[in-house]
Amino acid sequence: MKIDLIIKNIGKLVTMENSFFPRIGNQMNELTILENAYIAVAQGKIFQVGVGDEYKKLIGENTKVDDVGGKLVTPGLIDSHTHLVHGGSRENEFSKKLNGVPYIQILQEGGGILSTVNATKKATFDELYNKAKKSLDRMVEFGVTTVESKSGYGLDLETEIKQLEVAHKLNEDHPIDLVHTFLGAHAVPVEYKNNPKAYIELLVKEIMPKIKEMNLAEFCDVFCEEGVFSVEESEYILKNAKDMGYKLKIHADEIAPIGGAELAAKLGCISADHLMAASDKGLEDMAGGNVIANILPGTSFNLNKPSANARKMIDLNVALSLSSDYNPGSCPSENLQFVMQLGCLNLKMTPNEVLTAVTINAAHCIDRAREIGSIEVGKKADIAVFDAPNMEYLMYHFGINHIDKVYKDGVLVVNNKHVVY
Ligand code: NIG
Ligand code: FE
């Protein structure tokens, strides 16, 4: 086999190996960390992982050898919950938020998600594309190599298709891989304010089948929340989605404990996301149903809300994933490293648990664990090189970008913190 690339002189290599199932309990903290390690890459995939000088035997005429000078190396980070593609921004709501006006109240007054819906409807394909591309560049510069991207700022067939098609084009053009989720049930559009049932019927009977037929989304998600979509409505939408062949996700128990976590377990969702207000029973059901808890600490931080109870979830053997929730309202930041630091500082997770949550568990959360999420032979050579000596340093020195290099499919796409693709 012709070896294209060898990354050598890795001070600490966190492999996340043997990760056929999401890691739970102690498995999130007990990681293999190789010292003085190397990774050999062929045709974009990991060919060999080892320690010491063994790599020398693999060097051929055209092998590129990158010496990373003793740095920390991990699997490429995975951001498994974002609202990447949207028009506009919402800094006009910032002072309301600072004055304590609740997030849901802003939405109910026609702002919030609905104001981004207006901006997204008005934006052209190219405007949405260029804005989202800028965000993807930022994300990869923070070490992210795969991103889940939701629709949900159209709330009509035409705009939902536009958002999803932008994401598909970016998947072709940008080094980051995207995974697509339909979130038509993100809010009730203004036109249906007095008849939400009619909007739900439109989703189930027309929009969701069309999106599936066009193969634009693999997952279907719902914003199940008091004042948005009830548990019963969410169940109806997601059951239909399942019958159409979508895999399921749910925004659950973010603000009020209405039973979103319980519903996620009942329906077999791959993940339930947010969960700041989830009940103990809901978390127990999730553990029993193997639903991944996808926690979004950047959102709790930005909304000034108590964080989800990650320690309790780990104790209950619920698998945890962490992601940014990047969106123009509740979390306008692409910085997954900051989210990881909040994982330690606010969720009281260990650095190892946090890394598990943004690599292999995040891969499971988007059903990609066969290809990504660990440094193992045969997986994609998606690799993050941090200018840090160990995992603790990465979390302790907060608010900066620790990335030195990022490889996507074995190609150097970020060098000295900046995109070079
Ligand atoms: O996950 N909670 C619902 N949806 C997004 C926020 C979207 C927005 O405010 O634009 C979230 O936080
Ligand atoms: Fe979200």
Report the domain count for the chain.
2
Instruction: Please say whether the dihedral angle defined by the alpha carbons of residues 196, 200, 202 and 203, taken in this order, is positive or negative.
Output: positive
What is the rounded CA–CA span in Å between residue 26 and residue 160? 41
End-to-end CA distance of the chain: 25
User: Would you say the CB of residue 79 lies under 6 angstroms from ligand 1?
Assistant: no
Residue 55 C-alpha to ligand 1 middle, in angstroms? 47
User: Would you say the CB of residue 251 lies under 6 angstroms from ligand 1?
Assistant: yes
Return the pLDDT at 19: 82
Q: Are residues 237 and 88 in the same domain?
A: yes
Enumerate the β-bridge partners of residue 367.
none
Q: Which of 153, 186, 295, 304 to mutate to test the pocket of ligand 1 (most atoms within 8 A of CB)?
A: 186
Give the long-range contacts of residues 109-112, CB within 8 A, separation 24 or more. Answer: 110/190, 112/187, 112/329
Enumerate the β-bridge partners of residue 322.
295
Angle between helices 260-267 and 280-288 (to 10 degrees): 20
What is the rounded CA–CA span in Å between residue 23 and residue 198? 41
Burial of 94 (0-12, 13-18, 19+ CB in 10 A): exposed
Q: Domain boundary residue among 348, 365, 382?
A: 365
> Distances from the Cα of 126 to the Cαs of 75, 84, 135, 157, 193, in angstroms?
32, 14, 14, 18, 30
Q: Are residues 134 and 256 in the same domain?
A: yes
Q: Which domain holds residue 360?
A: 77-365
Q: Are residues 84 and 217 in the same domain?
A: yes
Beta strands across the sheet bearing 219-224:
77-79, 144-150, 177-185, 219-224, 247-252, 271-274, 292-295, 320-322
CATH number of the domain that 12 lies in? 2.30.40.10
Q: Are residues 207 and 321 in the same domain?
A: yes
- Tally the C-alpha atoms within 13 A of residue 50's C-alpha that lie toward its C-beta: 12
Name residues of the chain where pLDDT drops below 50: none
Q: Which of 105, 199, 94, 93 is nearest to 152 (CA)?
A: 199
What is the rounded CA–CA span in Å between residue 268 and residue 249? 9
**Contact yes or no for 8/65 (Cβ under 8 A):** yes
User: Would you say the CB of residue 223 lies under 6 angstroms from ligand 1?
Assistant: yes
Return the pLDDT at 1: 82
What is the rounded CA–CA span in Å between residue 282 and residue 181? 24
Q: Are residues 34 and 146 in the same domain?
A: no
Q: Are residues 302 and 356 in the same domain?
A: yes
Q: Are residues 321 and 388 in the same domain?
A: no
Q: Are residues 96 and 70 in the same domain?
A: no
User: Would you say the CB of residue 254 lies under 6 angstroms from ligand 1?
Assistant: yes
pLDDT one-digit tens code per residue, 123-168? 999 999 999 999 999 999 999 999 999 999 999 999 999 999 999 9
Q: Are residues 226 and 335 in the same domain?
A: yes
What is the rounded CA–CA span in Å between residue 409 and residue 2? 15
Residues by chain with Cβ below 5 Å of ion ligand 2: 325
Q: Which residue has the tokens 């970008």?
A: 401
130: how many CB neighbours lie within 10 A of its CB? 12
Q: Are residues 337 and 401 in the same domain?
A: no
pTM exceeding the 0.85 threshold for the entire prediction: yes
Q: CB-based contacts of 281: which residues, under 8 Å, 6+ apart?
A: 262
Q: Which of 155, 271, 330, 331 to mutate to test the pocket of ligand 1 (most atoms within 8 A of CB)?
A: 330
> Distances from the Cα of 22 to the Cαs of 92, 273, 348, in angstroms?
40, 16, 20
At position 236, the amino acid (one-letter code) is Y
Q: Are residues 116 and 42 in the same domain?
A: no
Q: Are residues 327 and 392 in the same domain?
A: no
User: Would you say the CB of residue 329 lies under 6 angstroms from ligand 1?
Assistant: yes
Q: CB-based contacts of 410: which residues, under 8 Å, 6+ apart?
A: 4, 5, 41, 42, 43, 44, 45, 381
CATH number of the domain that 211 lies in? 3.20.20.140
Using CA positions, which residue lies closest to atom 8 of ligand 1?
329
